[in-house]
Amino acid sequence: MEGRIAKNDYTLGGRHTGITLRAGETIEFGIYAMHMNADYYPNPEQFNVDRFLPENRNQLTPYAFLPFGLGPRQCIAKRFAQMLVKLTLATLVLKYRFNTCEQTDIPTKVHISSFSNAPKCINLKIQSYIENYIY
Ligand code: HEM
């Protein structure tokens, strides 16, 4: 995906930020750095989905969670992609038991790029429930 390009000079947040985008400049966000920033997400290495519960939402910083971008040019398939990921995970955990093993990297090593941050490698021990699986 191409980065966003400023059409005109534009100062972010009025004059308060001191950041002016110049016409023609390409803009990319360091999303991984933002999602792992303890100012926004205390203990960022900790897997804690409770951060996103409705009762904890007032502790979240707007625009500090951008897996699909935000605003008029955010990912058009955001809901579709989320549904797909949930269905895939649900199907997998229904059929297989996942465990870490000696080869599992803890914490996971991440390949950081401008668009997505995929794990470098995930080695897991996978056991099938298939004998007990009822369709
Ligand atoms: C987990 C999967 C996905 C992630 C994390 C993701 C993430 C993103 C992100 C970060 C953007 C840029 C938003 C911005 O610049 O503000 C984007 C744009 C876009 N995505 Fe996705 N995406 C996913 C799946 C998909 C799928 C499955 C499709 C199509 C079927 C899709 C279609 C698009 C399109 C067309 C745009 C450009 C929207 C525009 O420029 O107006 N994405 N996506």
94 found inside a domain = yes
CA 57 distance to own-chain centroid:
17
For the entire predicted model, the pTM comes to 0.80
106 found inside a domain = yes
Determine the average pLDDT of the residues in 60-65. Answer: 90
62 found inside a domain = no
4 touches 29 (CB < 8 A)? no
Q: How far apart are CA 61 and CA 50, in angstroms?
A: 15
pLDDT digits (tens, 9 = 90+) for 33-45: 888 899 999 999 8
Instruction: Kindly tell me if the per-residue pLDDT of 130 is higher than 80.
Output: no
pLDDT digits (tens, 9 = 90+) for 91-121: 999 999 999 999 999 988 888 776 667 889 9
For 32-135, list the strands marked E by DSSP.
96-99, 110-112, 117-119, 125-128
43 found inside a domain = no
Token pair, residue 98, equals: 């996942």
126 found inside a domain = yes
Ligand 1 site, residue 65, Cβ cutoff 6 A: no
- Choose one of 63, 68, 87 to mutate for the ligand 1 pocket test, by most ligand atoms within 8 angstroms of C-beta: 68
Query: Is 92 in a helix, a strand, or coil?
Result: helix
70 found inside a domain = no
103 found inside a domain = yes
Q: What's the domain range around 85?
A: 76-135
Ligand 1 site, residue 129, Cβ cutoff 6 A: no
| Number of domains observed in the structure of the chain | 1
pLDDT of residue 15: 67
Q: Tell me which range, 24-28, 83-87, 93-97, 105-109, is most confidently predicted by mean pLDDT.
A: 83-87
Residue 117: burial class (beta carbons within 10 Å; 0-12, 13-18, 19+)? middle
Residue of 30 and 50 predicted with greater confidence: 50
123 found inside a domain = yes
Lowest mean pLDDT among 17-21, 43-47, 50-54, 93-97: 17-21
